[in-house]
Amino acid sequence: MIRSLLGSSGGTGFSLTLAALAVTAALLVATLAGVGPSGFLVNIIGQLAAFALLALALDLIWGYLGILSLGHGLFFAIGGYVMAMHLLMHSFETTGTVPDFMQFMGWKEFPAYWAGLGVFPYALAVALVLAGVVALVTGWVSFRSRVGGVYFAIITQALVYAAMLLMFRNDTGFGGNNGMTGFSVIFGLRMGTETASAVLALASVVVLALGLVATRALVSGRLGRLMLATRDDEVRLRSLGYDTIVLKTGVWVVSALLAAIAGMLYVPQVGIVNPRILSPELSLEIAVWVAIGGRGHLVGAVIGAVLVNALKFWLSFAAPDVWPFILSALIVLVVLVFPNGLLDLSRGFGALKARMRREGVASLDPRRAGP
């Protein structure tokens, strides 16, 4: 089952995943009609879908280009914060609710840069442009000077950390350490109702499916082969005349945009955004989802994100103290025993032993990517 889900040629696994997403979507539609899963479960499904999209974004850049970002939370947060601003503006325009953070700061009106965010298409454009520009600048600057591997990973982590410190300040107009909460209306629907949850979850699942189809289209063609070639031997590709810097920057920007969209879907479902979303730990966890699911396999990233987060949701209720230990054990297990995550599980132990002898599969091992 898992093997077919994750099959590297991707045919059946991909179709099965899409089918599973279609079934989930159908269940959510049933909830809208009043017969499907409860509001709580619907909310969990929606959050898992947002996380899966985030993992998909990271897998695109890590799995296919061998560039590990430990700062994808930055783009996730850009989407999340812009969405939160949109929701607050929208709520203010429809119900007159003054956001908490403005009351804390004693502000009478929204800061100037909030103008127009009440209109969703504009907010969407702002989030995408912002994430895209930040990605373009950071990516171009780093890839141009051949910063890669561990360097790039830590620098992205430093970026997300610096952003977190900035957002913790109360005078920036983004809610400071309390963040932004108290969203009351989304697209004219009251937040917190079963209908709103189901619509949001449905949107997340649909966007995830679209993202899966789009990224698959991206990696299965000639571009995908270029990406793998860049990952495995960038120097050779460059000497063949390909501009890998443009390729890497382009994919990096696409990945950032996906992460921003994931953030826009995630924030309304949890009802709050605060600087914790920018903590280096979250960004590291995204990499863990992808590693557990299997790098270089879009479906693997989705499954990894869903499995790890489902486990986390369950354990956070059942045994909150145990979760960090389980997470670290999972990581060590994946790193030592299943270097390609669930994919190894699906290939059986015979193949695993053979590969352990060879120390990693050439086509999946980004060992050449870093210093």
Partner 1 sequence: MLRIAAVLIGLIFATAAGAAPLERDPTLRGLCGNAAASGEAADRLLSATPTLSPDDLAFADAAIGGLLSKKLVCPAAPTDPVALKADTGAVDLATGAPLAALPKGKAPVVSLKNRAKFERLAAALALLAAPNAAARAAALEVLAKSAADVPADLFAAAAGREPDPALAARISSVADLASLYGTDIDKRVAAVARLAEGENRRVLTEIEALRADPAYASEPAFAAAVDAAAAKVSGAIAIGNAAATLYNGLSFASILFMASIGLAIIFGLMGVINLAQGEFIMIGAYVTYVVQEGLRALLPGLLDWYLVIAIPFAFLVTALIGIALEASLIRHLYRRPLMSLLATWAVSLFLINLVRVGFGTQNLQMETPFYITGGIAIVGDFIMTWNRLFAIGFAALTLAGTWFLIRRSGIGLDIRAVTQNRDMAGCIGIPTRRVDMLAFGFGSGLAGLAGLALSPIYNVNPQMGTNFIIDSFMVVVLGGVGSIAGTVIAALGIGQINVLIEPIWGAVAAKVIVLALIIAFLQWRPEGFFTVAGRRK
Q: Which residues bind partner 1 (CB under 8 A)?
A: 62, 66, 68, 70, 141-142, 144-147, 149-151, 153-155, 157-159, 161-162, 165-166, 168-169, 280, 284, 287-288, 291, 321, 324-325, 327-329, 331-332, 334-336, 339, 359-360, 365-367, 369-371
Cβ at position 146, least distance to partner 1 in Å: 6
Cβ at position 287, least distance to partner 1 in Å: 6
b/e burial code for range 282-314 (CB count within 10 A of at least 16 → b) = bbbbbbbbbbbbbbbbbbbbbbbbbbbbeebee
| 8 A C-beta contact, residue 197 and residue 265 | no
Residues making up the chain, counted from first to last: 371
| 8 A C-beta contact, residue 102 and residue 231 | no
Nearer to partner 1, 137 or 351 (CB): 137
Angstrom distance (rounded) from CA 76 to CA 69: 12
H helix intervals, the chain: 2-6, 11-32, 39-65, 73-95, 100-105, 120-144, 149-167, 194-220, 222-232, 234-239, 244-270, 280-293, 298-318, 323-336, 342-358
Nearer to partner 1, 132 or 370 (CB): 370
Listed residue (237, 357, 215, 235) closest to 290, CA to CA:
215
Cβ at position 77, least distance to partner 1 in Å: 15
| 8 A C-beta contact, residue 208 and residue 53 | yes
| 8 A C-beta contact, residue 114 and residue 208 | no
Nearer to partner 1, 200 or 369 (CB): 369
Work out the angle between the directed axes of helices 73-95 and 149-167 (0-180°, nearest 10).
30
| 8 A C-beta contact, residue 54 and residue 262 | yes
Cβ at position 291, least distance to partner 1 in Å: 6
Nearer to partner 1, 200 or 234 (CB): 234
Cβ at position 342, least distance to partner 1 in Å: 15
Nearer to partner 1, 216 or 355 (CB): 355
Nearer to partner 1, 26 or 150 (CB): 150
Cβ at position 371, least distance to partner 1 in Å: 5
CA atoms within a 13 Å half-sphere pointing along the CA-CB vector of 43 = 15
Provide the Cα torsion 118, 120, 121, 122; round to 10°: 30
Cβ at position 176, least distance to partner 1 in Å: 12
Nearer to partner 1, 117 or 159 (CB): 159
Listed residue (181, 207, 209) closest to 267, CA to CA:
181
Angstrom distance (rounded) from CA 255 to CA 276: 21
Nearer to partner 1, 42 or 291 (CB): 291
Nearer to partner 1, 62 or 81 (CB): 62
CA 123 to chain CA mean position, Å:
19
Cβ at position 370, least distance to partner 1 in Å: 4
Cβ at position 57, least distance to partner 1 in Å: 17
